[in-house]
Amino acid sequence: MKVLFICTGNTCRSPMAEALLKHHAPHVEVKSAGIYAMDGQQANEHSMTVLEEKGIELKHRSSPVTTALLEWADIVLTMTSGHKSMLAMDFPGFQYKIATLIEHVSSEGVMDKDIADPFGSTLETYRETYKELDQYIKQLIQTI
């Protein structure tokens, strides 16, 4: 299984999700990218701090979404419904493999709940984002 996580800049949420899935399910191939990412940026300092606190390694450089990445992935999981919509418009033909992380793991068909962007917030906000992502990643592992 090849999983691609998508967020906005590929420095906060999607790198954290990637690191969490690699940590909890090392057998799964996983990458991340951002809709507006610049190539080669380091992960956000707070993201790195939170993962380090949990003993999770994060070696990351940001990457923009590309057709090659979408072709590589078996499933593409976005952090928000806005990301999902943008991908569908910018990369037609891949809609069948794109879902928000929350809708993918939800048994109740939740379609409108997003994982909020912690960018520019406090370390405590990043800790809350980590907790939310960790919960959904553990649910994701049950589905793959």
- Is 90 catalytic? The answer is no
pTM of the model: 0.96
91 burial type by CB count under 10 A (0-12 exposed, 13-18 middle, 19+ buried): middle
What residues contact residue 74 under an 8 Å CB cut-off, 6+ apart?
1, 2, 3, 97
Task: Give the 3-state secondary structure of residue 115.
Answer: coil
pLDDT tens track, the chain, 144 positions: 999 999 999 999 999 999 999 999 999 999 999 999 999 999 999 999 999 999 999 999 999 999 999 999 999 999 999 999 999 999 999 999 999 999 999 876 666 689 999 999 999 999 999 999 999 999 999 988
From the candidates 114, 117, 127, 134, which is the catalytic residue?
117
Q: Is 74 a catalytic residue?
A: no
The residue from 7, 112, 127, 134 that is catalytic is 7
What is the side-by-side order of every strand in the sheet holding 2-7?
Answer: 29-34, 2-7, 75-78, 98-100
Domains of the chain: 2-143 (3.40.50.2300)
Give the Å distances, CA to CA, from 15 to 49, 78, 96.
Answer: 13, 12, 23
Indicate the residue type of 86.
M
Q: Which is catalytic among the residues 13, 90, 112, 114?
A: 13
Q: Are 88 and 96 in contact (CB under 8 A)?
A: no
Residue 13 designated active-site: yes
Cα–Cα distance, 51 to 57 (Å, whole number): 7
pLDDT in the model for residue 73: 98
Task: For the chain, give percent helix, strand, coil, nearest 5.
Answer: 45, 15, 40
* Helix or strand (DSSP H, E) at 28: none
Q: What pLDDT does 75 receive? A: 98
Q: What is the pLDDT at residue 124?
A: 98
